[in-house]
Structure 1
Amino acid sequence: MTVGLLEDFLRATDEWNLGVYGVHVYHAGADPIERRLRSDDRVNVYSVAKAFTAVALGLAQAEGHLTLDDTLLSHFPELASSAAEGVEQITLRHLLNMTSGTSHRWFADQRIQTPDLLHEIIEAPLEALPGQHFAYTGSGAYAIGRTITRAAGVDLRSYLMPRLFASLDLHNPGWHACPQGFTFAESDLFLRTHELARFAQLLLQEGHWGERQIVPASFVHEMVADPVDTSSIDYGDRWTFGYGLGVWIDMDGMYRMDGRYGQYVVICPRRKIAVTVTAHCEQDSRLLDAIHAFILDRVD
């Protein structure tokens, strides 16, 4: 693997005006390579944050605080009387893989108008039975963050600080919170390209970092083991291979973390490669095409 690999990628993204900030390629057994096209600032990784929330859920499960198949209302029994019909069937797994069936659509760039967003999520009527239909929303990740806070006794960011962020030397990352102080969980996590690349490498290494097993390997496998069907959505062909636990399934055994405006992490377990890109790109699908064509398709 050579730096020339990135030169071809960057030349293409420049010609196509794809707004890349930085790119990092990790290939097991070789030195990582990275290029930056702007100052090394932390940027909003948008929905890539959902994968961090997924890992937090896996850690909380390993510590005995909860399980993925707990129902949401089992952790918030005081809200059961106001919950919409069918919400009692929603599990944390449903929330994470976007099959809760909720009609609630919320993302962190939207102003929260309600006194308590979790109450609004629980009170929203279902449009499908839990587990039956994929519908992308930030509401589920936010609800998971609230559940981890309830079960573990600290907010999501504080929960991950000693368990994940400090272990990867991600010093004091910013993560925006709602008016009540609960971490957004679905977005608005701020990292540098190479910091996000450490998280990518951690997952590529099945949760192992240095001499420690930070995340259970079994959970890393579970993140992609049983994806839900996404073939009916209209995002584009690269979004039709399925969705796991906070991650998109890609072709040929790969999987991805996707964030708005071209924040991408693509992991290829078979070839032990992780590609991390930060950007401000209005052509998300074309940037993803460039990652495949000029990097992943060229690494043996």
Structure 2
Amino acid sequence: MKKFVLLVGLFALALSPFNLALAQGDPLQRSTPESQGVSSAQIAKYLEAANEQVDSMHSFMLVRHGKVIAEAWWAPQSAEQPHVLWSLSKSFTSTAVGIAVAEGKLSVDDRVLELFPEDAPQNPSANLQAMRVRDLLTMSTGHQDEVNLREAEHWTKAFMNHPVPHKPGTHFQYNTPATYMLSAIVQKVSGQTVLDYLRPRLFEPLGIAAPRWDESPQGISIGGYGLYLCTEDIAKFGQLYLQQGHWNGQQLVPESWIEQATSKQVSNGSDPDRDWDQGYGFQFWRCRFGAYRGDGKDGQFCVVLPEQDAVIAITANTRDMQAELNVVWEKLKSAFHDSPLPEDPDAQRKLSELIETLKATR
């Protein structure tokens, strides 16, 4: 087994109206699993299975009814250590677009060519002319394959000059450069990188203190990857979406955007047992069991379960991301109950013993 440090909230909070209104920058509240209707024994089973079956887990956080009820870091990871999100960054870029739309800076029906006429080919194809912001959001730009931006001198120009053989909106093709273009669009209409644009609108209200986002040679946040956050930051982002964009009395993201972004906008497969075949929204994936998620290479997940009023944040380094999600469904889906459970000292003791065993062995 792999060595890790696990912290589980083992205290109940006496909640006053003041406590319920967390101050800006405060961490999420902690609570016992049973008080939020979740079995400590089931959490222990999940941790055992994840530790054995996923190579390798880095962190895990489970939020129920807005409160952290379990959190774990596998050494040498820690709560304070930012983690690369890879393509989970895309969901944050989508959020920036949604806020910019709400502020009247752009529309999802704006044509990409009209936003970057200076970078367009001399004779743009009809498909390029038809490409809209919406098509970037849904990974249906009309490309057959991705342009290799890493080998390009100018990333936006390389995207605009890449062949578009399919009519936009008709062909789903996972496309990280499309997300880069969303970032470039937000920067063009706001005068700020997506990182700086989101600081006062998202990161600061959520208490995300030091986000970092890598940039292109043109000084544009990469958008499709390159964002570094801590595990609790990921959990807060998921909780914001679970709360329909509301946070401490503020509407940070419009409810209408949350609904569109997390709904199935395009089909991407038909396998009922595969979480990558359940449909795609605006830079969010639909999951089985009524859930949705942002995800990134090697197993970075922000899974939102509206039916269970729960959020699961995971960081990892694994080649089999479906197996990583399967452990969640197999071990945690049945752990949620509608009402609080009786405090279970025996299950909590066994969970504590498991924690100590896992902390001391590899």
Instruction: Give the corresponding residue for 1:200.
Output: 238
Instruction: Give the corresponding residue for 1:249.
Output: 286
Change (3 A) 1:133 1:154: same
Cα distance in 2 for residues equivalent to 1:37 and 1:272: 26
Of 85-94 and 31-40, deviating more is 31-40
Instruction: Give the corresponding residue for 2:43.
Output: 6
Instruction: Give the corresponding residue for 2:141.
Output: 100
The alpha carbon displacement at 1:240 in A equals 0.8
Out of 170, 188, 201, the position equivalent to 1:163 is 201
**TM-score scaled to structure 2, two decimals?**
0.77
Q: Is the contact made by 1:263 and 1:278 (CA closer than 8 Å) also made in structure 2? A: yes
Change (3 A) 1:2 1:134: same
Cα distance in 2 for residues equivalent to 1:97 and 1:255: 15
Change (3 A) 1:35 1:67: same
Q: Secondary structure at the match of 2:150?
A: coil
The one-letter amino acid of 2:118's match is: E
Cα distance in 2 for residues equivalent to 1:189 and 1:225: 24
Q: Secondary structure at the match of 1:166?
A: helix
Cα distance in 2 for residues equivalent to 1:299 and 1:84: 53
Cα distance in 2 for residues equivalent to 1:133 and 1:284: 24
The alpha carbon displacement at 1:103 in A equals 3.7
Structure 1 gaps, min length 5: none
Q: Is the contact made by 1:82 and 1:123 (CA closer than 8 Å) also made in structure 2? A: no
> Is 1:115 paired with 2:156?
no
The one-letter amino acid of 1:42's match is: P
Q: Is the contact made by 2:120 and 2:161 (CA closer than 8 Å) also made in structure 1? A: no
Q: Secondary structure at the match of 2:267?
A: coil
The alpha carbon displacement at 1:2 in A equals 4.2
The alpha carbon displacement at 1:211 in A equals 1.4
Change (3 A) 1:17 1:161: same
Among the aligned pairs, what percent are the same residue? 28
CA deviation map 1:181-239 (0-9, x unaligned): 1110001111111111100100011101111111111110111334201016x9x8221
Instruction: Give the corresponding residue for 2:116.
Output: 76
The alpha carbon displacement at 1:29 in A equals 6.1
Of 15-24 and 121-130, deviating more is 15-24
Q: Is the contact made by 2:39 and 2:335 (CA closer than 8 Å) also made in structure 1? A: no
**TM-score scaled to structure 1, two decimals?**
0.93
Structure 2 gaps, min length 5: 1-37, 338-362
The alpha carbon displacement at 1:98 in A equals 0.4
Q: Is the contact made by 1:18 and 1:287 (CA closer than 8 Å) also made in structure 2? A: no
Change (3 A) 1:122 1:103: farther
Q: Secondary structure at the match of 1:134?
A: coil
Q: Is the contact made by 1:98 and 1:135 (CA closer than 8 Å) also made in structure 2? A: yes
- Structure of greater Rg: 2
Change (3 A) 1:282 1:266: same
Instruction: Give the corresponding residue for 1:181.
Output: 219
Q: Secondary structure at the match of 1:51?
A: helix
Equivalences, count: 295
Q: Is the contact made by 2:54 and 2:323 (CA closer than 8 Å) also made in structure 1? A: no
